[in-house]
């Protein structure tokens, strides 16, 4: 309907006139509204034109201070309920990106380190973005890029060799405090790269496998299934080769090879791509990763999700990519999220003072009668409820509140709808639901049909919080509907009310699915 109204208004206004058609925040001001009257200063003439050329589905049109408001017919809402119920799990999907092939990289947990709440943040954001691409018709592959080589690994292997209870934190601490141990760890690092020491190789492979197996367990709990796992051990030599083959882009400086990004963009800085030991840095490995990704999957778009602390680094990397792989750089989008914080403050993986994802999940579970689905939903909701670029202070008590603005609130509303539908079937209420539906249009009916628009906008803005905001408003509207109307009964309207309940259940379940939040049938 939005597109129909936009075309109709555009036909009336002078070519190039800019206006918007949107849902008003207040449902009392219509189902759609446009500022075209104010923009064109022809509100009266526009209203007359629209009244004469009303599209099917529009009941009436009004002019409120230059804003033209549109009200949909009761028949439109009845049909929308049928469409929602008929389409079921497909309702909300579109094919705007049909034929597009998207690879979404996120989480990027490093072996030999804990899977902390920063990884949980990235996983939640990344999974929702991947699902948004799928709901908008794209073919999607999920990828995680993991640092299985580098100084952090050498520090952990040193800790394992010295039988430390927490190998990485112990190795990191020793590296900072002792020049002798620092050299030992640097030597271990070189041996991991060249695989020259059988004992180190054995410890490395065992530790790597243990970490990766642990990560898989967490991914299953979070509802993520990756298509590709990329590793720094695979991209390191490829990235180094790329750097060495492009002397016009990279230059030698103090024994290292660097990229002077400021020569191409004054807002950027210089970064090392091969260090003075001849080892490729993260930057060089990322170039190798870009090449490997493209060879594995011929994507039309690559979305890379990281914390915003690496924004400047990634801008330099993309500048280097533009010079070496211009086509891949054009297809790459870096999307960064903020920091997930608890009241204890920012975590530090260097010292080992890490808040693990598992510990947070278990703590929230303890507040939800040990319900894993509710705990996962509570955490993901709190992460996705705000713009993903900002930091989040995680309040455990608020996350499990049943009063609203929580994942639990949405899950309870879904479970309540399911309970009503099961009860209706037990009472032999006819299904599929049919009824009069002749009364006044309810606020919930004015929200349900909007879901596909919200899905499209959420991807357009890379903003899952649009889905969260919509579902929270929808759940509130459903609870108000349930509190004021007898859904199951002998009234001619009863079946129509059940249709509203079923349509709500469909939309809520689909919306939670987009967010990667479980939708329990019972709670």
Q: What is the pLDDT of residues 400-447, one digit of tens each?
A: 999 889 999 999 999 999 999 999 887 766 555 555 666 789 999 999
Given pLDDT bands bounded at 50, 70 and 90, which one contains residue 140?
Answer: very high
pLDDT at 459 over 50: yes
Q: How far is CA 209 from the centre of its chain?
A: 28
For the chain, the domains span 2-72, 106-341, 396-515
Peptide bond into 432 cis (omega under 30): yes
Average pLDDT of span 193-211: 95
pLDDT digits over 69-89, tens only?
999 999 999 999 999 999 999
Residue 374 CA neighbour count, 13 Å, CB half: 24
Place of tokens 């989008």: 333
Are 474 and 433 in contact by the 8 Å Cβ rule? The answer is no
pLDDT at 349 over 50: no
Share of the chain above pLDDT 90, in %: 88
Q: How far apart are CA 405 and CA 50, in angstroms?
A: 39
Are 336 and 308 in contact by the 8 Å Cβ rule? The answer is yes
Q: CB neighbours (10 Å) of residue 215? A: 21
CATH number of 106-341: 3.40.50.620
What's the pLDDT score for residue 431?
Answer: 59
What's the pLDDT score for residue 348?
Answer: 41
Are 109 and 429 in contact by the 8 Å Cβ rule? The answer is no
Are 408 and 402 in contact by the 8 Å Cβ rule? The answer is yes
Average pLDDT of span 12-27: 92
Query: In this structure, which long-range contacts are made by residues 78-82, counting pairs with CB atoms below 8 Å and at least 24 apart in sequence?
Result: 78/437, 80/445, 80/448, 80/449, 80/503, 81/437, 81/445, 81/448, 81/499, 81/500, 81/503, 82/499
CATH class of the region 2-72? alpha beta
Average pLDDT of span 110-134: 96
What's the pLDDT score for residue 491?
Answer: 81
What's the pLDDT score for residue 8?
Answer: 95
What's the pLDDT score for residue 350?
Answer: 41
Beta bridge partners of 442: none
Q: What are phi and psi of 433, to 5 degrees?
A: -70, 135
Given pLDDT bands bounded at 50, 70 and 90, which one contains residue 341?
Answer: confident
Look up the CATH superfamily of 396-515. Isoleucyl-tRNA Synthetase; Domain 1 (1.10.730.10)
Given pLDDT bands bounded at 50, 70 and 90, which one contains residue 343?
Answer: low
């Amino acid at each position: 309907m939005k597109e129909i109204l936009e075309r109709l208004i555009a036909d009336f206004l002078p070519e190039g006139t800019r206006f918007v058609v949107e849902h008003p925040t207040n449902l009392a001001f219509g189902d759609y509204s446009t500022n075209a009257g104010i923009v064109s200063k022809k509100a009266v003439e526009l209203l007359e034109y629209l009244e004469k050329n009303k599209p099917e589905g529009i009941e009436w049109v009004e002019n409120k201070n230059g804003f033209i408001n549109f009200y949909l017919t009761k028949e439109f809402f009845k049909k929308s309920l049928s469409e929602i119920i008929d389409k079921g799990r497909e309702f909300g999907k579109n094919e705007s990106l049909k034929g597009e092939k998207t690879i979404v990289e996120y989480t990027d947990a490093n072996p030999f380190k804990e899977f902390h709440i920063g990884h949980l943040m990235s996983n939640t954001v990344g999974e929702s973005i991947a699902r948004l691409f799928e709901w908008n018709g794209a073919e999607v592959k999920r990828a995680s890029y993991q640092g299985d080589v580098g100084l952090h690994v050498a520090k952990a292997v040193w800790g394992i060799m010295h039988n430390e209870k927490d190998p990485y934190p112990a190795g990191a601490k020793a590296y900072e405090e002792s020049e002798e141990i620092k050299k030992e760890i640097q030597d271990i690092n070189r041996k991991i790269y060249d695989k020259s020491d059988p004992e180190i190789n054995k410890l490395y492979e065992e530790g790597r496998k243990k970490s990766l197996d642990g990560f898989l367990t967490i991914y299953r709990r979070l509802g993520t299934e990756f298509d590709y796992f990329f590793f720094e051990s695979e991209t390191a030599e490829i990235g180094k080769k790329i750097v060495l083959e492009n002397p016009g882009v990279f230059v030698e400086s103090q024994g290292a090879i660097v990229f002077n990004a400021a020569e191409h963009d004054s807002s950027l800085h210089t970064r090392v791509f091969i260090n003075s030991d001849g080892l490729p840095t993260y930057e060089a490995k990322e170039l190798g990763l870009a090449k490997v990704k493209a060879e594995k999957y011929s994507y039309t778009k690559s979305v890379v999700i990281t914390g915003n602390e690496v924004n400047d680094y990634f801008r330099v990397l993309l500048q280097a990519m533009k010079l070496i792989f211009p086509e891949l750089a054009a297809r790459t989008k870096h999307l960064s999220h903020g920091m997930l914080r608890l009241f204890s403050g920012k975590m530090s993986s260097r010292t080992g003072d890490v808040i693990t994802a598992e510990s947070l999940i278990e703590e929230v579970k303890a507040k939800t009668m040990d319900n894993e689905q509710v705990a996962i939903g509570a955490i993901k909701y709190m992460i996705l409820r705000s713009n993903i670029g900002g930091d989040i202070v995680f309040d455990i008590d608020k996350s499990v509140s049943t009063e609203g603005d929580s994942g639990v609130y949405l899950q309870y509303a879904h479970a309540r709808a399911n309970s009503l539908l099961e009860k209706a079937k037990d009472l032999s209420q006819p299904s599929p639901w049919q009824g009069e539906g002749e009364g006044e249009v309810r606020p919930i009916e004015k929200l349900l049909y909007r879901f596909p628009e919200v899905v499209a906008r959420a991807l357009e803005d890379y903003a899952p919080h649009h889905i969260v905001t919509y579902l929270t408003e929808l759940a509130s509207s459903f609870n108000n509907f349930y509190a004021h109307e007898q859904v199951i009964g002998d009234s001619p309207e009863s079946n129509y009310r059940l249709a509203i309940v079923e349509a709500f259940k469909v939309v809520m379940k689909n919306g939670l699915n987009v967010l990667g939040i479980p939708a329990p049938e019972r709670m």
